[in-house]
Amino acid sequence: MGLKKAFLRLATLGLGIGLMTSAALAANLRVLAWDGYADPDWVKDFTATTGIGVDVVFIGSDDEIWAKIKGSEGQDFDVFAVNTAQLQRYIKADLVSPIDITKLSNQKDVLPRFRDLSQVSGDTKDGKVYGIPFCFDSIGLIYDTDKVKPAPTSMSVLWDPAYKGKILAYDNGEHNFSFTALTLGYKDPFNLDAEQMAAVKAKLVELKRNVLSFYTTADEAQQIYQNNDVALIWANYGQQQVKALQKIGAHVAYVNPSEGALAWLDNWVISKGARDTAAAEKWIDFMLTKKVSGALSERTGFGNTVVESSSAGGNDKLVWLNNVEDPLKRSDLWNEIKATP
């Protein structure tokens, strides 16, 4: 008898707790982000100051974000992180809502290059703002300070015969066409016409003859660096790669080329299915505080939009990555370049 009573009481208690948490869950802000964008201590601070609970789901790839948002037509999340190259796709599919910047008190204090969002390619459509940039990294040049003197200022150093066989480039047709187009001075590196494409291809064949190898992962580049005479690395992994190399005692430095460095830029966006737009706006505004943004750069090595960081100086020219005219064509040409003797 006593046991049955205790059991019943336990069950009621359990039910009560379950109802309470589900009620709490119902009001919580649902955030979808990459690892490093919503650390537990920030979430705790946010809840403490605003009284809004937060549930964070982490994702591992662009395709996964698309699958999660598109799969529920945006109903499963209030706010999520996505890069500028991807954002247009979400706008076109009507999965994100325009953002009222006047509600974001911290947006007016961001670094100059992010203040006017109409100037940030990919963030706006028809005059409406859809994405608030908060994290970026450039794809610059890593050089060995003992071997490369004076310090390079342009990617054109990769074609310098003085460094023949001492260069590590990245094995990706899309990016290689874009950065070479910038080096050749083309305005829009993501939309090349046939003539420009041919010129870039010829230039990349020359590059191929000057490099030691093409790498794919940051670890791989590091291993090759350790066992060979490498002077220059085209740094697909930006600051993370520099820091890892410096940790093993390499004398390397990082530079964003003067003709413009390719760079990715992640934005906070508000989903079409957001239950509480005001809470989502508060989250974005909270992420744009000096404290959180500064910590983001310190912890990940990426640049942020509020405090100056080592990813890029104020005068560095950054070219935000965008969808290219024909990925298949670039990939085929890249194979042709690699097969050219």
Partner 1 sequence: MSVAATTQPAEKRLSLLVTVLAFALPVIFVLVPLAIFLVYSFFSVDQGTIVFAPTLGNYARFFTDPIFLPVFWNTIVLCVSVAVICILLAYPAAYFLTTLKGRWRYALLMLLLVPLLMSYVIKIYAIRSILGLNGFLNKALVALGILDQPSTLFVFNMNAILLTLSLLLIPFAILPIFLSLERIPQTLLRASDDLGASGLQTFLRITLPLSLPGVASAASFVFVLAIGDFLTPQMVGGISGFTFGRILYSQFGTAYNWPFGAALSVALAIVVICAILIGERFGRNRGTSI
Where on the chain is the footprint of partner 1 (CB under 8 A)? 165, 171-174, 208-209, 211-214, 216, 220, 223-224, 226-229, 327-328, 331-332, 334-336, 338-341
For partner 1, give the closer residue by CB, 92 or 115: 92
Q: Are 269 and 90 in contact (CB under 8 A)?
A: yes
Q: How far is the CB of 301 from partner 1 (least distance, A)?
A: 25
**Other C-beta atoms within 10 Å of 164: how many?**
13
| Adjacent-strand bridge partners of 191 | none
Query: Smallest gap, in angstroms, from Cβ of residue 267 to partner 1?
Result: 23
Return the number of the residue (156 or 331) whose C-beta is nearest partner 1.
Answer: 331
Evaluated on CA atoms 109, 113, 114, 119, the torsion sign reads positive
Q: How many residues does the chain have?
A: 341
Q: How far is the CB of 200 from partner 1 (least distance, A)?
A: 17
* Four-point Cα dihedral 165, 170, 175, 178, nearest 10: -10
Separation between Cα atoms, residue 92 and residue 241, nearest integer Å: 34
Q: Shortest approach of partner 1 to residue 147 CB, angstroms?
A: 13
100 vs 332 by CB, closer to partner 1: 332
Candidates 158, 172, 95; CA nearest to 130 is 95
Q: How far is the CB of 338 from partner 1 (least distance, A)?
A: 5
Q: How far is the CB of 325 from partner 1 (least distance, A)?
A: 11
Name which of 172 and 240 has its Cβ closer to partner 1.
172
DSSP string across 305-339: SSS-BTTB-TT--EEE----S-HHHHHHHHHHHHH
Closest CA relative to residue 162, chosen from 137, 143, 187, 186: 143
Question: CB-wise, 12 or 340, nearer to partner 1?
Answer: 340
Nearer Cβ to partner 1 (174/188): 174
The one-letter amino acid at 59 = I
